[in-house]
């Protein structure tokens, strides 16, 4: 068992060290480091815009959950906006959570795969769910949202990303396995509004495409106490759609 902060890399343009197991960094090549940074900053910008459109700022965030945090691609930037003790990094990868807690001083949330049975140590003013619903079955997406929305504070905001229908145009980004499943993706989107194809040797983890109409209907019927604040097609790193919802009782008027 190595220490949580063992085997790390550092780059001057990125705050904090990067764990060698952080798969979000493809390599130490300048282009990959630049993308790692720009992807995180795109997430941070989306949170700031979502807060602003709900008439809020970072000063209103007293408790923040980054889920899944991984090894802190975004977490390292969140602690530049909010006090580190107000930030929680959560993931099913417990080594990743330990690293975030050690490296960035944030609160750890060691998640289970059954989110409906997850015990949360706090409730949250802001929850970011980046690139998770993009990999889950329809029931898995619904369970994740239900579990996280249940721990939103009054006037709290959840921001999550999906891969929209525009992603059907570049299934090759995800590998030949998914490119060959193009017909299945189009069929499922047409029939159900959501398409899921698992990774080889997996049943419940793969690449998921959401039609915007499916997300809107799901949120309206399953979580009617939430208000849509913002939807930005391909808003995260010119790839994933960004959705922002606020719990009932917002201050002011949403634009």
- DSSP characters for 139-202? HHHHHHHHHHHTTEEEEEEEEEEE--GGGGGGGGGG-HHHHTTHHHHHHHHHHHSEEEEEPTT-
Written as six digits, the tokens of 163 are 């891969």
The verdict on residue 1 lying in a domain is: no
Residues 6 or more apart whose CB falls under 8 angstroms from that of 209 comprise 163, 164, 165, 167, 168, 185, 189, 194, 195, 196
Mean of the per-residue pLDDT values of the chain: 94
252 falls within a domain:
no
Report helix angle 138-149 to 212-222, nearest 10: 50
Answer whether residue 254 is part of any domain: no
pLDDT score for 254: 37
pLDDT higher than 60, residue 250: no
Alpha-helical runs (H) found in 22-66 = 30-53
Query: Is 2 a member of any domain?
Result: no
Residue 86 lies in a domain: yes
Residue span of the structural domain in which 125 resides? 8-247
- Summarised one tens digit per residue, pLDDT across range 14-68 is 999 999 999 999 999 999 999 999 999 999 999 999 999 999 999 999 999 999 9
Residue 3 pLDDT: 63
Indicate whether 1 pLDDT > 70. Answer: no
Residue 255, domain member (yes or no)? no
Whether 121 maps to a domain, the answer reads: yes
The pTM (predicted TM-score) of the whole model is 0.94
Separation CA 165–CA 169 (nearest Å): 8
22: domain CATH number is: 3.40.50.150
pLDDT number for residue 5: 58
3 within domain boundaries? no
Would you state the pLDDT for residue 7?
A: 86
pLDDT for the residue 251: 44
pLDDT in tens, 122-174: 999 999 999 999 999 999 999 999 999 999 999 999 999 999 999 999 999 99
User: What is the pLDDT averaged over residues 73-79?
Assistant: 98
- How many domains, in total, are found in the chain? 1
């Amino acid at each position: 068992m190595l220490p949580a902060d063992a085997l790390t890399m550092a780059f001057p343009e990125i705050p904090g060290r990067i764990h060698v197991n952080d798969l979000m960094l493809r390599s130490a090549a300048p282009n990959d480091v630049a993308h790692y940074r720009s992807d995180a900053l795109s997430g941070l910008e989306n949170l700031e815009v979502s807060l602003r459109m709900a008439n809020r700022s970072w000063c209103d965030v007293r408790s923040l959950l980054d889920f899944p945090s991984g090894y802190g691609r975004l977490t390292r930037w969140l602690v530049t906006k909010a006090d580190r003790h107000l930030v929680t990094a959560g993931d099913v990868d417990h080594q990743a959570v330990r690293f975030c807690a050690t490296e960035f001083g944030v609160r750890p949330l060691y998640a289970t795969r059954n989110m409906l049975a997850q015990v949360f140590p706090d409730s949250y003013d802001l929850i970011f769910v980046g690139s998770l619903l993009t990999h889950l079955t329809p029931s898995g997406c619904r369970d994740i949202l239900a579990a996280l929305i249940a721990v939103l504070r009054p006037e709290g905001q959840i921001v999550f990303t999906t891969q929209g229908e525009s992603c059907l145009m570049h299934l090759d980004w995800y590998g030949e396995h998914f490119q060959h499943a193009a017909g299945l993706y189009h069929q499922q989107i047409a029939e159900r509004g959501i398409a899921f194809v698992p990774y080889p040797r997996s049943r419940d983890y793969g690449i998921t495409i959401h039609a915007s109409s499916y997300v809107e209907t799901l949120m309206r019927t399953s979580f009617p106490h939430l208000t849509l604040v913002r939807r930005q097609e391909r808003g995260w790193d010119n790839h994933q759609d960004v959705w922002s919802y606020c719990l009932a009782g917002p201050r002011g008027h949403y634009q």
